[in-house]
Structure 1
Amino acid sequence: MEPGESIAAAVRREVREETGLECEPLTLLALEERGPAWIRFVFLARPTGGTLKTLQDADAESLQATWWAGEPTALPLRAPDILPLLELAARYRRSPSHPATLPQELPCALICLRLLVAFASDAGELWVLLSTAGTPHLPVTACGTAASELRGGLRAPVLRLLRDCLPRAPPSPAPLGLLGLQHRAGGAGGADGVCFNVLLSVAAGSPGAGPPELRGPAFCWWRVEEEGLKGRIVQRLRAAAVVPIYS
């Protein structure tokens, strides 16, 4: 991405520069990350125009482009890292694993995570963790720049927040994935951050127990009563119907 460029605009520009084709992003397929200093968005898109780049069109962006029929051995790859992503796209085309997810153009000053931390009981009840500072809201945690957090990737701030609110936080939380994200290029004061909406679940301390005890009054468990909302969250949890995060 270039300074002042939205995520979707970067997708369209990169595809045009590399292949000569215009495209429309359809959904985010995956998020690859090594902490806030290295984030790569993987999209599924469809061509909408342009002309496929030939050797005669070679420039500093790419030599040429070609359509691929799907046989891995036919690809002259310098590295095989894109093969799992191609398979992910093929699986999504056959059977979408999550709703179409595109970045929302909303401002954010930092690189941060908004967490939907859910607890589902054996009896079918559902609780969501809320921050009680001001109007109750989903917890938000910023991605730090300390070396320890950079090594831990996006999981590090999740673990930090869980340690703040749970007496016995899991040693290595595994976010199920993204429900969505927000970004507005060139925000107020030059802010150009990203907020990732991350869904994860926590387990009970013992079979049949309710949500884990909280450390203090800064957080509370909110019981979801509205059946439609509860059903949507539970479906996302059970089917892992989220954009996967690869760390």
Structure 2
Amino acid sequence: MTGASSGIGAATARRLATEGFHVVAAARRVERLDELVKGITEAGGVATAVPCDVTSDESVAALATAVAGLGDPVTLLVNNAGGARGLDTVAAGRIDDWQWMYDVNVLGTLRVTQALLPALEASGAGTVVVLSSTAGLIVYEGGGGYAAAKHAQTALAETLRLELCGHPVRVIEIDPGMVKTDEFGLTRFGGDEARAAAVYDGVAEPLVADDIADCIAWTATRPHHVNVDRLVVRPLAQAAQHKVHRVK
């Protein structure tokens, strides 16, 4: 799985290991991957760390080679790597931010899926999970760049499912709403801790990484003839993208 060094990725890697998967944890930050794998193995799971930058063709090719070298059937791919940058209007949006969001969320998913799809199909029971967002289903002011990337990622998942009809690979899309993790907001706001924390002000119980890991594990462990096309998950306090109950 990609983006495994923190947040939803790390939580999902740990959870999938408890479900009996040999987890290949891929991300850029090797030290964090090593720590994650150590924790999984100490808990009795099986995991392998593979450095990978999903924005690099060469790095993704190396990931595919490393996975093949393990010799195990490839039955599950979790495209988790992603993120947001900025909360600017379209008029003020930075091209570099939009480019980064598209490259990581959309092209990263495309690169890794293309690289591992032959192995997933060869397994006879493959599953591709695409971690998108409720931002892939609706737009909001200031979220143009992120919503555009997530809409594209959602379109990728839906198209892939159509194209794989009749093949032994199912495609699952997970669309979380408000999830409080250590890094998502910091990445979005350039390390500004106050702005990152303000997003969740007054929200009694936002979702956390383990909640999404639970959703991913549940969908991935259904009998293979069961395809959960799309799972939208929000905290109770969030009725819709713009409707959030905050305790004053």
TM bracket (short chain): under 0.3
After TM superposition, the score normalised by the length of structure 1 is 0.22
Which has more strand, going by share of residues? 1
When Rg is computed on C-alpha atoms for both structures, the one with the higher figure is 1
